[in-house]
Structure 1
Amino acid sequence: MSHPVHLAVIYYSATGTGTEIANEISKAAEEAGALVRVRKVSELAPQAAIDSNPRWAAHHAATSGVPAPTTDDIEWADAVIFGSPSRFGNVASQLKQFLDTLSPLWSQNKLADKVYSGFTSATTLHGGHESTLLALYNTIHHFGGIIVPPGYTDAVKLVDGNPYGTSHQAEPGNEAESVNVHTRNAAKHQATRVVKIAQVLKSGLAS
């Protein structure tokens, strides 16, 4: 690509499912020619709560080197893929807190006309996968962003069954390791589609 797409993957993950999906998306996007920044939003939970769950504590320590997102990452990006576990059918407070810091960019119209998409996970089959993504997309409407869902644009989506974004049913106690080939295929397709659409828009704006 003469003008490669800039993709920011901004997510929250407590026990590792989101990190696995984010890394899969990042790898596929780079293979599609994008420049990628992976950012994990800052943890808000008290250390005592983190330490009460060994997997949470281990993942928190293992990802301590992943940079937290800044407004610069959003300005830099042509496309953003947000990721959040489902929290009672909604976006996790850690990601929501970061979204709430973007008002200065919003007031300057710097969030508009970018491509946005999302991914999520929950430990139950009907644990808020779709409602979490739809809640996330409410924010994107306010940005004036261009939502690019995977839909059913590839056969892999008929397997994971969520047209709104990649979603995964995590196995309790084995969350990160439970990310299977179906989820990975859905994540790859979503990343490739987002890069493709963002490239079309970027090329059109540059011409």
Structure 2
Amino acid sequence: MKINIIFHSLFGHIYQLAEAVAEGAREVEGSDVNIYQVEETLSDEVLEKKGALESKETFSHIPTATLDTLTEADGLIFGTPTRFGMMTAQMRTLFDATGKLWANGDLIGKVGSVFTSSATQHGGQESTILNFHTTLLHHGMIIVGLPYSESRQMTLDEITGGSPYGASTIASPDGSRQPSKNELDIAHFQGKHVAEITKKLVE
């Protein structure tokens, strides 16, 4: 059972969640879990001006996703920051190249799940994941969210990401806030949950 996690991250928040998701997925017996990043479309000059170049170097060792990364997996977990309530252009670029996969039905029946981040507490986290689901549904994928058995998403004693749609974190407008333990634990749960469901379907 192969689980591929594909993410886009500028300041490392989504990458941290991706690692937590992977840790959870690897707890499921028989899982082969791999992490990939989408190709960055911004130049190093732009990344440096945004203050993201140094952050990008922390996960520069992660291989770049290709269309084979999508087709070879039984379960796919995507991580993207929110851009005006939708996935980033970098993540969109990957999916805009999947026309042939769609025509062939190559992703039909595969498990799909999404996690995200935003600058503010109500910065479009839920809409980003729901909009992402639309693309997965067009590919015929089976969407897995985050059930309320993961009760950490209901905590009220701290500001935290996490919803029935997927794990998330809040980065703050300047990117200074890092994922909390609660948010990382939610991401860990999501990875394990997706892997467990994928295993049942593969068997």
* TM-score past 0.5 threshold: yes
The question of whether the paired residues in 2 share the 8 Å contact of 1:151 and 1:157 is answered with: no
Residue identity matched to 1:202: V
Residue 164 (str. 1) matches residue 160 (str. 2): no
Whichever structure has more helix as a proportion of its residues is: 1
CA RMSD of aligned residues (A): 1.4
Query: 1:144-155 maps to which residues of 2 (within 5 A)?
Result: 144-155=140-151
TM-aligned CA deviation for residue 112 of structure 1: 0.5
TM-aligned CA deviation for residue 74 of structure 1: 1.2
The question of whether the paired residues in 2 share the 8 Å contact of 1:41 and 1:68 is answered with: yes
The question of whether the paired residues in 2 share the 8 Å contact of 1:120 and 1:132 is answered with: yes
Residue 40 (structure 1) aligns with: 37
The question of whether the paired residues in 1 share the 8 Å contact of 2:26 and 2:192 is answered with: no
TM-aligned CA deviation for residue 47 of structure 1: 2.4
Residue 199 (structure 1) aligns with: 199
Residue 76 (structure 1) aligns with: 72
Separation (CA, whole Å) in 2 of partners of 1:151 and 1:132: 18
TM-aligned CA deviation for residue 107 of structure 1: 1.2
Residue 180 (structure 1) aligns with: 180
Residue 8 (structure 1) aligns with: 4
Residue identity matched to 1:18: I
Residue 101 (structure 2) aligns with: 105
TM-aligned CA deviation for residue 185 of structure 1: 1.2
Separation (CA, whole Å) in 2 of partners of 1:65 and 1:189: 25
**Cα shift readout 1:61-98 (whole Å, capped 9, x = no counterpart):** 23222111011111111000001001111100000100
Q: Matched residues, percent identical? A: 30
TM-score by length of 1: 0.90
The question of whether the paired residues in 1 share the 8 Å contact of 2:118 and 2:170 is answered with: yes
Long gaps (5+) in structure 1? none
Separation (CA, whole Å) in 1 of partners of 2:141 and 2:190: 17
**Cα shift readout 1:108-134 (whole Å, capped 9, x = no counterpart):** 111100000000000101000000001
Separation (CA, whole Å) in 1 of partners of 2:72 and 2:57: 28
SS in structure 1 opposite 2:94?
Answer: helix
> Structure 1 residue runs of 4+, over 4 Å off?
none
Residue identity matched to 1:42: E
TM-aligned CA deviation for residue 161 of structure 1: 4.7
Residue 158 (structure 2) aligns with: none
Residue 61 (structure 2) aligns with: 65
Long gaps (5+) in structure 2? 156-160
Query: How many residue pairs get matched?
Result: 197
TM-aligned CA deviation for residue 49 of structure 1: 1.2
